Copies of this chain bind each other. A is one copy, B any other.
Amino acid sequence: MQVSLTEIKFDSNGLVPAIVQDAETNEVLMMAYMNQQSLQLTLEKGETYFWSRSREELWHKGATSGNVQHVIELRADCDADTLLIRVHPAGPACHTGNRTCFYREFGP
| A contact residues vs B (CB 8 Å cutoff) | 1-5, 17, 19, 21, 25-28, 30-31, 43, 73-80, 82, 84, 94-96, 98, 101-108
Counted per complex, copies of this chain come to: 2
Contacting residues, chain B, for A25 (C-beta < 8 A): 26
**A17 near B4: Cβ-Cβ < 8 Å:** no
A-B contact pairs, 18 of them (CB 8 A): A1-B103, A1-B104, A3-B105, A3-B106, A3-B107, A17-B17, A28-B28, A31-B82, A75-B102, A75-B103, A75-B105, A77-B94, A77-B102, A77-B104, A78-B96, A78-B104, A79-B101, A80-B104
Most B C-beta atoms less than 10 A away, residue of A31, A105, A106, A107: A106
